[in-house]
Amino acid sequence: MQPVLDFLKLSIEDQFFSKSERKSLREIVDQIKPTENQLAFLRNQIFELANQNATPENYRFILDWIRDATSALMNTIPQAPGSDAYFSPGETCRNIILQQIGQATHHIQICVFTISDDIITNAIIGSHKRKVPVKIITDNDKMLDEGSDIDQLAGAGIPVRIDRTANHMHHKFMITDNKTLITGSYNWTRSAAKFNHENILLTRDGGAIKSFAKEFDQLWNTLAEY
């Protein structure tokens, strides 16, 4: 894996990742023929490098770099249908959320109890700026918590719908491009990554995606606009 890691480090440090470099990265990965676990490790390393090198000045480059680097890995070895589980504390759950947001090209449907992790929020706004349609459903009570990013997301122009009842909209799932679903106990908060024992299930099962998409549409059509 070291040749791939060295290539990624060089491309992010010089803040240039050309089409020919992406092709070269795919060729390196083709030669190594990594397993699915090794590919998951490389995807995590992409987000680790992005976190380490991101600044307010290079924010747009970092988002594009994440998209191009993960795309290079995806294009090398096709994803097989199936499911993967991820756990916190640690960066793994957050990274898989960031990965799916960064890879989305057609639409992102987010239905989560609360969003207060600025790293995830910035990735969502970045996808919105890339013209990927984003919809967010969340809970009205958690929206008022200190540190909640819902106002920032809505202010960026992302459509948001909220539950205004005394009960909670407690779902935690996201569908990207109608191809991938992530769900689980993981709250989209900094404390979930740093301290809590949480989980995320990623699945490409068509039946599960269809059921969650139906629930998303039902909530979207009945809940209040932010």
DSSP string for 10-62: HHHHTT---HHHHHHHHHHHHHH---HHHHHHHHHHHHHHHHHH--SSSHHHH
Per-residue model confidence as pLDDT tens digits over 68-115? 888 777 654 444 467 889 999 988 899 899 989 988 989 999 999 999
Give the CATH number, domain containing residue 175. Answer: 3.30.870.10
Average pLDDT of the residues in 119-146: 90
Of the residues 80, 112, 130, the one at which a domain ends: 80
119 and 195 fall within a common domain: yes
Task: Let me know how many helices (H) and strands (E) the chain has, helices first.
Answer: 10, 8
Is residue 20 very low, low, confident or very high in pLDDT (cuts 50, 70, 90)? confident
Give the residue numbers marked as catalytic: 170, 172, 177
124 and 199 fall within a common domain: yes
Q: How far apart are CA 55 and CA 7, in angstroms?
A: 21
Measure the N-to-C terminal CA separation of the chain; round to a whole number of Å: 46
Count of domains observed in the chain? 2
Give percent of the chain above pLDDT 90: 49
Count of CB atoms situated within 10 Å of the CB of 196: 15
Q: How far apart are CA 61 and CA 224, in angstroms?
A: 35
38 and 90 fall within a common domain: no
Per-residue model confidence as pLDDT tens digits over 145-186? 788 999 999 999 999 999 988 899 999 999 999 999 999 999
Query: Which tokens go with 19?
Result: 């089409």
CA angle 26, 28, 33 (to 5 degrees): 90
- Return the axis-axis angle of helices 19-32 and 59-76, rounded to nearest 10°: 40
Of the residues 32, 54, 80, the one at which a domain ends: 80
Q: Are 144 and 168 in contact (CB under 8 A)?
A: no
44 and 136 fall within a common domain: no
Range of the domain at 175: 83-226
Strand, helix or coil at 120?
Answer: helix
pTM of the model: 0.68
Q: Are 90 and 97 in contact (CB under 8 A)?
A: no
154 and 218 fall within a common domain: yes
